[in-house]
Structure 1
Amino acid sequence: MPPGVEVRLGSAVTHIDLEARTATVAGEALAFDKLVLATGSRNSAFPVADDDAEVHQLRSLDDARLLDAAARRSRSAVVIGSGFIGCEAAASLALRGVETTLVTPEDGPQQARLGHHLSDQIASWLGDLGVELRTGVNVTGVEAPRTVHLDDGTTLAPDLVLAAVGVEAAAGELFEGTGLQLHEGRVVADEYLAAAPDVWVVGDASRALNAGAGRPIPVEHWGDALSMGELAGANAAAGEGERRAWSDVPGFFSTIGEHTIKYLAWGDGHEKEEVVDRTGGFTIWYADASDVVVGVLTYNADDDYERGEALISAGATLTEVLAGARAEDPAHEEDA
């Protein structure tokens, strides 16, 4: 551990007093000159399950160990939710020989967020692994120990149930009464990630103004939490005129079976999508109603991913991006 750094494991902050500049840990008020809030998120509650139903969630290392142990003794599984955690987990369970069913209210995995093309592709990848997709259905209850009831009248009785239904800010109640501005449990911050004088907030706990997007953006991706942490630390140590604004385009990687997709986007939806085929892969460009590119997703098309952030940040139009994409792709030149 570097000199001057003290780590307290197994300890929780129970109170923050910004006026007194103290954080209470295990009954002890620790004084601070500067404070960085990085409290993360927790799994959203799954309210339709019996209290004693065996429903796994996946957030922590302990969760992963429990899920691994359950998978070792299971022949069948139901995964609830078709976000990336749900799709990744369903693929991993199937690869371990567990007969897996994925249940989702969406018409296809990630369809609402990322469009029909990628949704169909994910469904194909999952199907190739033997995952059964139950789309357009909701779970109405999980009866102890592991009986899953769906709103189409179907009842499933797997050996393992995993709920992957999203997250919520982990420590919103800790910040209540501190004077910090909150939005849906997240701490509101400016483009420097500052939430109050000498207080910074990063990661899932933050609803910070992104200077590139020109609006507040909550993010739930670990890569962004890392970069925001580095920026907040640098800004906390810098002088007033030396602080840097947060302007990164949020994004993440996701590996579903043997297939890795890469995504960058402002994260508040799109109106258009355009698919560009690549050798052994594809790129999807997303645009808003004004034809401005707001996101990119790639599969085996790293060149597009690497230039995507600059194009999104620059506010390039879909027409401009596609003209450049097609001109740079030998496959399209051959077609011409």
Structure 2
Amino acid sequence: MTAHIAVVGASLAGLRTAEQLRAAGHTGPVTVLGDERHLPYNRPPLSKDLLSSPGDLSPGELHAKVEFRRRASVADVTFRLGLPVVVADVRGGRLWLEDGTAVAFDGLVAATGLRPRRLPLPGPLTGRHVLRTLDDCVALRGGLRPGARVVVIGAGFIGCEVAATALRLGCRVTVVEPGGAPMLRVLGARLAEAVQRHHEAAGVRFVIGRTVARFLGDGHVTGVRLDDGSALVADAVVEAVGSVPNTEWLAGNDFLDLNDGVLCDNRLLARGAELLVAVGDIARFPNPLLDTVPRRVEHWSVPTDTARRAAATLTALLAGTEPDPAPFRPLPSFWSDQSDLRFQSFGSPALADEIRLEEGDPDRLAAGLLATYHRRSVPVGTVAINLPPARQRELREAFGTLSPAP
């Protein structure tokens, strides 16, 4: 097959898609286009090991620690890095890069992922950080010196990971979260409150129920003003307030639904398109493992799972054959390391209407805990904390037989 496939996005999803295109039998040219200058690398260490690595390591040395090893099958794949795609004519088969260069394609893969949401508030920009890329990590890492006052806005998983890392580096850390206890939407109230107590016992301060009204300082952030008029002094501020799908480059293709990522069918084929598939956390698709509602899933396992399905779909369509009709039922999974706690989750706990504590004591999280999550009495997820690997494998296997709720 000589058709040219363009993969827009050069992170894990883009790399895995290139590999899976070759595994599916596509022998034609593949070009992976990315806005970062770095070859694909592993993002989870950015908020943990890489963020706490020695300060004398250069960005290149840091990248070497997390760069993905590329399989021999993609040795002939072209990586064009450092220039984002800004416009796509999906039906016309052309892309335009930021420098005006045009790239023609026969099949297209959307793998552009997410960018951190920023708070649209007054105040200086210098000293405000987000954490999504290697360059973000390098910028933040320079400010996490012993004694530094760090304010983390947002108590989701990234916010809590950054807070735990900064505390370990000797910083004084305050987390501001308007919506309740840490990771409340995923964990549920009882477990989220237990996690908050655990972090507080280690030395993290939480300000719950307050929002940030503005950033303080002249040229460089010196603190944040909260909505009740109080202020928090800060040498560095980290905004961990969610993410936005990178779909602007697809704007103008009005047949696509870009309301929340790229709406796809269960084959990962974009609704309204003939030869566009989406992978990773911008793909919004129905998963019959859970129900028929199309959703984006921002878990680390999703790029690999969706790349396999999307590559098979696109390869079949370019060859003029029908894609595999078998239901695509990936099991979402994620983990999070926060101080002495390791979280492991399977399924989608946020969909639950009931949470059951199966093992452990919320007041002794480090000793191990298991909670199961149910919707209309059907299990939809688990969260394990500090359970041994063998027990986690059992939980994963149990979800292989999960049936969707009626």
TM-score, structure 1 as length reference: 0.85
1:255 aligns with 2:337: yes
Instruction: Tell me, yes or no, if structure 1 residue 13 matches structure 2 residue 85.
Output: yes
**SS of the residue 2:77 aligns to:** coil
Worse-superposed segment, 293-302 or 231-240? 231-240
Q: Distance in 1 between matches of 2:170 and 2:312?
A: 47
AA in 2 matched with 1:13: V
Correspondence for 1:211 = 288
Task: Please give the alpha-carbon distance, in whole angstroms, between the structure 2 residues aligned to 1:3 and 1:285.
Answer: 43
Confirm or deny that 1:130 pairs with 2:207: no
Match of 2:96 in 1: 24
1:233 to 311, 314, 318: 311
Q: Deviations over 1:237-279 (max 9, x none)?
A: 3442436543112221001012110112336532110011259
- Give the 3 Å change call, closer, same or farther, for CA 24–267 of structure 1 in structure 2: farther
Partner of 1:298: 384
Where in structure 2 are the equivalents of 1:1-336 lying within 5 Å? 2-25=74-97, 26-52=99-125, 54-72=127-145, 75-144=148-217, 145-170=221-246, 172-195=247-270, 196-213=273-290, 214-238=292-316, 239-242=321-324, 245-266=327-348, 268-278=350-360, 280-288=367-375, 290-301=376-387, 302-303=389-390, 305-309=392-396, 311-312=398-399, 314-315=401-402
Task: Check whether the contact 1:101–1:132 (CA below 8 A) recurs between aligned residues.
Answer: yes
Q: Deviations over 1:23-69 (max 9, x none)?
A: 22342332212111101111112112414452111111111001000
In the alignment, the residues of structure 1 paired with residue 77 and residue 197 of structure 2 have an alpha-carbon distance, to the nearest angstrom, of 49
One-letter amino acid of the counterpart of residue 81, structure 1: G
The answer for the alignment partner of 1:324 in structure 2 is none
Q: Distance in 2 between matches of 1:66 and 1:10?
A: 18
Following superposition, the deviation at residue 174 of structure 1 comes to: 1.5
TM-score by length of 2: 0.72
Equivalent-residue separation in structure 2 for 1:8 and 1:73 (angstroms): 39
Who is 2:55 aligned against?
none
Determine helix, strand or coil for the equivalent of 1:11.
coil
CA–CA distance in structure 2, aligned partners of residues 241 and 38 of structure 1: 20
Moved more, 263-272 or 239-248: 239-248
Q: Contact 1:198–1:236 (CA<8 Å) still a contact in 2?
A: yes
- List alignment gaps of at least 5 residues for structure 2: 1-71, 362-366
Task: List alignment gaps of at least 5 residues for structure 1.
Answer: 319-336
Could you say what secondary structure the match of 2:102 adopts? Answer: strand
**Matching residue's letter, 2:283:** S
Letter in 2 for 1:225: P
Distance in 1, matches of 2:250 and 2:194, equals 42
CA distance in 2, matches of 1:247, 1:50: 46
Say if 2:210 and 2:226, in contact at 8 Å, map to a contact too: yes
Matched AA of 2:289 = G
Cα 1:222–1:21, aligned 2, differ >3 Å: closer, same or farther? same
Offset of residue 304 of structure 1:
5.3
Identity, in percent, stands at 29
Instruction: Look up the match of 2:27.
Output: none
